[in-house]
């Protein structure tokens, strides 16, 4: 069953950039004739909207402070996108498979998003912008690579996504003190103040 690895890999990618994940999957389904991509992702209107949103996120993610502000609403958007992608990959029949793959996609997206957001908070505390851009580009490359692999070689994509997820969680854990410092740094820059966490 290649649906599970495809969902896991797509969920990981959604946690980094949900719009780019849908965009890449849609392009591969439409122009490469690959199977397993939900039909809705291949529609022109979906590709245009996802392309624009992916481009916005691509730019926002390169700017210190803006990237962390962008991650706040993404804490809701990315896991939901991962769950929806999983449900659509399963065929969205409302059966156990749909529910299971939606859960896998959503939880994987949440874990990769929280790890990414934590790492980026830690990186934002460094005074130079190079590490921020490098972290963002690494995420972009990961999303495109894992999303492409998810369609072409789902099992390999799931393995790569699992390794990346473990590395990200480990790195976020190691950087926890800097993540806390990053959270304080972000709260100090929040326009109207952030309630204490």
State the residue range of the domain holding 25: 3-189
Tokens, residue 49: 């909207």
Task: Cite the beta strand spans of 27-110 per DSSP E.
Answer: none
> How confident is the model at residue 197, as a pLDDT?
46
pTM equals 0.84
pLDDT 10s digits, 42-61: 999 999 999 999 999 999 99
Number of domains in the chain: 1
Helical axes 66-90 vs 176-189, angle rounded to 10°: 110
- For residue 197, being part of any structural domain is answered with no
- For residue 194, being part of any structural domain is answered with no
Question: Closest by alpha carbon to 14, among 161, 187, 160, 122?
Answer: 161
pLDDT 10s digits, 26-37: 999 999 988 788
CA dihedral (79, 80, 85, 88) in degrees, to 10, reads: 150
- For residue 59, being part of any structural domain is answered with yes
C-alpha angle with apex 70: 182 to 15, nearest 5 degrees? 90
**Between these two residues, 68 and 185, which has the higher pLDDT value?**
68
Tokens, residue 35: 């199977």
pLDDT at residue 192 is higher than 70: no
CB atoms under 10 Å from CB of 97, counted, come to: 18
Portion of the chain with pLDDT greater than 90, in percent: 50
Helix (H) or strand (E) holding 154, with range, is helix 154-174
- For residue 11, being part of any structural domain is answered with yes
- For residue 195, being part of any structural domain is answered with no
**Between these two residues, 161 and 187, which has the higher pLDDT value?**
161
pLDDT 10s digits, 117-170: 888 877 877 777 678 888 889 999 999 999 999 999 999 999 999 999 999 999
- For residue 33, being part of any structural domain is answered with yes
pLDDT at residue 193 is higher than 70: no
Portion of the chain with pLDDT greater than 70, in percent: 90
- For residue 166, being part of any structural domain is answered with yes
Interacting residues of 64 by C-beta distance below 8 A, sequence separation 6+: 124, 129, 132
Q: Is 166 exposed, middle or buried (0-12, 13-18, 19+ CB in 10 A)?
A: exposed
């Amino acid at each position: 069953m290649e649906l599970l690895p495809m969902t896991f890999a797509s969920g990981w990618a959604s946690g980094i950039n949900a719009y780019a994940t849908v965009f890449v999957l849609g392009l591969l389904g439409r122009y490469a004739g690959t199977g397993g991509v939900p039909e809705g992702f291949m529609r022109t209107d979906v590709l245009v909207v996802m392309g624009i949103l992916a481009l916005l996120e691509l730019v926002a993610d390169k700017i210190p402070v803006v990237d962390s502000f962008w991650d706040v609403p993404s804490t809701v958007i990315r896991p939901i996108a991962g769950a929806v992608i999983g449900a659509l990959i399963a065929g969205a029949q409302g059966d156990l498979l749909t529910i299971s793959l939606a859960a896998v996609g959503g939880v994987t997206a949440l874990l990769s998003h929280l790890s990414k957001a934590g790492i980026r908070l830690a990186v934002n505390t460094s005074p130079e912008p190079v590490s921020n851009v490098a972290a963002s580009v690494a995420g972009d490359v990961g999303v495109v690579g894992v999303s492409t692999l998810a369609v072409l070689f789902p099992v390999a994509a799931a393995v790569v996504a699992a390794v990346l997820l473990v590395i990200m969680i480990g790195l976020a854990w190691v950087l926890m003190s800097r993540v806390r410092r990053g959270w304080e740094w972000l709260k100090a820059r929040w326009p109207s103040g952030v309630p204490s966490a």
